[in-house]
């Protein structure tokens, strides 16, 4: 469990990490949680909630992250408990289970969703960045689910230079903008920001990526400006 100001801009979040994931992104730095969660310390939910309730005046929301939280059948019950304890809820997801996302949103169990979008929305690019075969149509469906829902949405993409070119990122931004405008509810006429995240070679799931140099911060910032322009500015 960790507390952060960065998870949900403007909110103080405590984060609960759930184990296992259905993807194998080569750059994943949480691979122990994905592959060998038994080696990590486990806390009982009731103990976590008791600790958090004592800090309720300092914490706005609880973020459930992973791994991939939607792999757990108990997720709705977990979110209900968190809501029952008086906290807002945020879910971090890789977008591979649109039906579950839709269910949680319809049940009004989420206040914010942050979804990783890993590559342009074609099967080959997605497989390269997710490390497993995954039809990109599944990710497109999750984006549509989010566009129809009124909850706050954050989209994120990790930019690993050996996996994604600049043009891949701009193509992804255009694809998100297109899907959003087809599907968005009145609440969300504008698409969400697509936040570009820096790749870290420190301890990736694929050791070969330790040799890959991340992009210069300034270069990534310029890419972020262009992505913002595609989604919200004159590039739309
Ligand atoms: S980076 Fe990929 S493999 Fe790692 S937790 Fe996220 S979705 Fe799963």
For 140-149, what is each residue's pLDDT tens digit? 999 999 999 9
- Contact yes or no for 94/72 (Cβ under 8 A): no
Highest mean pLDDT among 48-62, 90-104, 175-189: 90-104
Residue partners of 15: CB distance under 8 A and separation at least 6? 1, 2, 3, 4, 7, 62, 63, 64, 65
- pTM of the complete model: 0.93
Q: From the CB of 30, is ligand 1 less than 6 Å away? A: yes
Residue 10 token pair: 């403007």
Q: Which helix (H) or strand (E) holds 41?
A: none
- Contact yes or no for 149/137 (Cβ under 8 A): no
Q: From the CB of 23, is ligand 1 less than 6 Å away? A: yes
Structural domain of 213: 2-232
Give the phi and the psi of residue 192 in degrees, each rounded to 5.
-75, 165
Give the phi and the psi of residue 119 in degrees, each rounded to 5.
-165, 170
Which three-class secondary structure state does DSSP give residue 220?
A: helix
- Contact yes or no for 156/115 (Cβ under 8 A): yes
CA dist 173 and 196 (Å) reads 11
Instruction: Judge residue 81's burial from the number of C-beta atoms within 10 Å of its C-beta, 0-12 exposed, 13-18 middle, 19 or more buried.
Output: middle
How many separate domains does the chain show? Answer: 1
Identify the CATH number of the domain in which residue 181 sits.
3.20.20.70
Summarised one tens digit per residue, pLDDT across range 51-89 is: 888 888 888 899 999 999 999 999 999 999 999 988 999
pLDDT at 97: 98
Query: What is the whole-number distance in angstroms between the Cα of residue 102 and the centre of ligand 1?
Result: 20
Q: Hey, which of 66, 155, 164 would you mutate to test ligand 1's pocket, going by the most ligand atoms within 8 Å of its Cβ? A: 66
CA angle 94, 144, 128 (to 5 degrees): 40
Q: What is the DSSP letter of 122?
A: S
Q: Hey, which of 28, 115, 134, 199 would you mutate to test ligand 1's pocket, going by the most ligand atoms within 8 Å of its Cβ? A: 28
127 versus 42: the higher-pLDDT residue is: 127
- Whether pLDDT at 5 is above 60: no
């Amino acid at each position: 469990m960790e507390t952060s100001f960065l998870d949900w801009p403007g909110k103080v979040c405590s984060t609960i990490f759930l184990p296992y994931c259905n993807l194998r992104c080569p750059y994943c730095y949480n691979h122990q949680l994905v592959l060998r969660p038994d080696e990590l310390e486990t806390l009982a939910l009731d103990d976590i909630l008791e600790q958090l309730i004592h800090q309720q005046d300092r914490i706005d929301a609880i973020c459930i992250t992973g791994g991939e939280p939607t792999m757990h059948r108990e997720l709705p019950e977990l979110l209900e408990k968190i809501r029952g304890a008086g906290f807002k809820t945020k879910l971090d997801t890789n977008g591979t289970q649109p039906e579950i996302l839709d269910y949680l949103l319809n049940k009004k169990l989420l206040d914010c969703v942050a979804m990783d979008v890993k590559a342009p929305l074609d099967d080959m690019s997605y497989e390269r960045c997710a490390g497993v075969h995954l039809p990109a149509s599944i990710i497109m469906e999750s984006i549509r689910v989010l566009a129809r829902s009124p909850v706050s949405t954050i989209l994120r993409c990790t930019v690993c230079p050996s996996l994604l070119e600049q043009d891949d990122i701009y193509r992804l931004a255009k694809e998100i903008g297109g899907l959003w405008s087809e599907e968005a509810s009145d609440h969300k006429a504008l698409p969400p920001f697509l936040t570009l995240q820096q790749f870290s070679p420190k301890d990736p799931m694929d050791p070969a990526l330790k040799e890959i140099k991340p992009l210069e911060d300034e270069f990534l910032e310029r890419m972020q400006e262009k992505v913002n322009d595609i989604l919200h500015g004159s590039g739309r």
